[in-house]
Amino acid sequence: MAEQILLSALSKLLPASALLTSKEALTPYECDGLSVYKGLPLAVVLPQTIEEAQSIIKLCQQYHTPIIARGAGTGLAGGAMPTKGAVVLSLAKFNEILDVDVDNRTATVQPGVRNLAISDAVAQHGLYYAPDPSSQIACTIGGNVAENSGGVHCLKYGLTVHNVLGVTFLTVDGELIELGGKALDDAGYDLLALIHGSEGLLGVMVEVTVKLLPTPEVAKVCMAIFDDIEKAGQAVCDIIAEGIVPAGLEMMDALAIQAAEAYAKAGYPTDAQAIVLCEIDGTEGGVAEFIEKVEIVLTKGGAVETRVSQSEVERMQFWAGRKAAFPAVGRLAPDYYCMDGTIPKSRLAEVLKQISLWSDEYGLPVANVFHAGDGNMHPLILYDANKPGELEETEEFGRKILELCVQVGGTITGEHGVGVEKLDSMCVQFGKLELTQFLAIKDAFDDEGLLNPGKAVPTLHRCAELGGMHVHNGELPHPELERF
């Protein structure tokens, strides 16, 4: 009944084209980039103005209806997956670049603007927006803030949180709050940091001001080929030890190389056990000096061959294979499951070895692509969802990998977010006290729990049901809670 009243109120507020309620219209919104988790919402709304978004939020609050903000739906953790009875608030129509301030090197954009569209719009001024998640042609800046997205250039240029100067968002009460602006900091608590990676649980973004950087004069990539993945891992550490901060430092294993080469024809030798791609950018002279150093370090580290890109075309070709790794691996099996753990680089060899043992045990092949510079690994588990039980086995295998990441001092998610996918793994990484604090923060912003409920932070009950998983300090989690 309340649902009908809400829908009727929304229909008075919005034009018919901005309120979707039929099954056919809702189906395209049933999942995000992680398509194994699906659900149909009560409605999808597509406001055009801040005032419309405000009114929608106030109505939803009045009728105690959950609100799920959504950008391009490219997320990989089910963070934008609809739940039954919820209203999906699409920011697709918030797609304008509002202001490019060349003198201050900022762009103020609506949250539905695509990541790459910002760099395209400011390229004429010799500027660009640095974070480059692999979905950058499609993903939106609002989603990037919500997930604190990374990319291949994080080591040198940071994550989304390091490249955003201001955010305007709506609270669950429909209040408009401005954080930051074009200055480098703001008064009060750093809510700008807190809102990054908050997965739509704290507010709905309506405007974002990003920092623009001068486009580097030149960039060169050194590709190094290894016959042993351990040597490749060590060589990555050697580059850092040499005092070099590459713009990008990536690694792929044999299966990923073979898939990428078959798909993108990047010139990767298909008998290699590992490839390291190391990009240096900056001024002409500086790049020449550093790329030479990189080549020496990689050769000393046991690379059987190194190649330095001699032109922009060749640089793009070296990257083509890495950037196409996901779709390339996608051709090897009906489905793949992408993990996102981060580990200390020095533990890479042992983690890969363990993944390989489990891969044999489960009979599920794994291709590894790795943001080696910052320790963020993306094992891609190959499976067939149509084979009964194989998805469940894959998920179990994936959870084991994430537990291992936590055990070696890392984290369950480097850049994809928790969403619905990693709720159980959150119980591994955090104990009761931390989870309680997260829930208290959520409560401070949204005491009724209407903003993207059931995502990002698990309930204590869920973790207790899962039983003895938290691996910190060797303490048993939640001893006071009843087990089932």
Partner 1 sequence: MGNLTQQLQAQVEAAYQAETALNIIGGDSKSWYGREPVGEALHVGEHQGIINYMPTELVVTVRAGTTLSEIAGALDKHQQRLPFDPPYFGEAATIGGTVACNFSGPRRPYAGSCRDFVLGCTMLNGKGEKLRFGGEVMKNVAGFDVSRLMAGSLGTLGVLLDISFKILPHRLAEQTVVIDADFKQAIKLMNHWAGTPLPVTAMCADGQSVYFRICGAPSAVERSCKEIGGTIFDDGKSFWKDLREHHLPFFDTDKTLYRLSVPPAAEFISLDGASDSDWFIGWGGAQRWLKSDLPFDVIQQYAKKLGGHARIMRGGDRSEEVFAPLSPALMTLHTKLKHSFDPKGTLNPGRMYKDL
Map the footprint of partner 1 across residues 59-98, applying CB under 8 A: none
**Could you say which of 41, 410, 453, 477 contacts partner 1 (CB under 8 A)?**
410
* Nearest to partner 1 of 9, 237 (CB atom): 237
What is the footprint of partner 1 within residues 309-348 (CB under 8 A)?
342-346
Instruction: Spell out the residues 6+ positions from residue 385 whose beta carbon is closer than 8 angstroms to its own.
Output: 36, 334, 335, 391
105 lines the binding site for partner 1 (CB under 8 A):
yes
* Nearest to partner 1 of 261, 421 (CB atom): 421
124 lines the binding site for partner 1 (CB under 8 A):
no
Pairing of the two strands 87-90 and 67-70 = parallel
* Binding residue count for partner 1, defined by CB under 8 A: 95
CB of 149 to partner 1, least distance (A): 9
Structure tokens belonging to residue 122: 């400011």
* Nearest to partner 1 of 85, 286 (CB atom): 286
CB of 460 to partner 1, least distance (A): 14
Instruction: Spell out the residues 6+ positions from residue 1 whose beta carbon is closer than 8 angstroms to its own.
Output: none
Of 44, 52, 49, which Cα lies nearest the Cα of 22?
Answer: 44
What is the footprint of partner 1 within residues 139-158 (CB under 8 A)?
147-148, 150, 154-155, 158
477 lines the binding site for partner 1 (CB under 8 A):
no
Of 284, 121, 132, 162, which Cα lies nearest the Cα of 216?
Answer: 284
CB of 286 to partner 1, least distance (A): 4
The separation between the first and the last C-alpha atoms of the chain, rounded to the nearest angstrom, is 35
217 lines the binding site for partner 1 (CB under 8 A):
yes
CB of 21 to partner 1, least distance (A): 32
Question: What is the C-alpha to C-alpha distance for residues 350 and 96, in angstroms, rounded to an integer?
Answer: 47
Structure tokens belonging to residue 474: 């060797």
Query: Of 136-144, 301-309, 321-329, 421-429, which segment contacts partner 1 by CB under 8 A?
Result: 421-429
3-state SS, residue 346: helix
Alpha-helical segments (H) within 185-283: 191-195, 229-241, 254-264
**Could you say which of 34, 429, 452, 466 contacts partner 1 (CB under 8 A)?**
429
Question: What is the C-alpha to C-alpha distance for residues 380 and 421, in angstroms, rounded to an integer?
Answer: 15
Question: What is the C-alpha to C-alpha distance for residues 348 and 369, in angstroms, rounded to an integer?
Answer: 12
What is the footprint of partner 1 within residues 181-200 (CB under 8 A)?
181-191, 193-194, 196-198
240 lines the binding site for partner 1 (CB under 8 A):
yes
**Could you say which of 5, 98, 137, 177 contacts partner 1 (CB under 8 A)?**
177
Q: Answer whether 300's CB lies under 8 Å from 238's CB.
A: yes
451 lines the binding site for partner 1 (CB under 8 A):
no
Structure tokens belonging to residue 115: 């990541």
363 lines the binding site for partner 1 (CB under 8 A):
no
Taking the mean position of all CA atoms in its chain, how far away is CA 113? Answer: 17
243 lines the binding site for partner 1 (CB under 8 A):
yes
What is the footprint of partner 1 within residues 7-46 (CB under 8 A)?
none
* Phi, psi angles (nearest 5°) of residue 397: -60, -45
214 lines the binding site for partner 1 (CB under 8 A):
yes
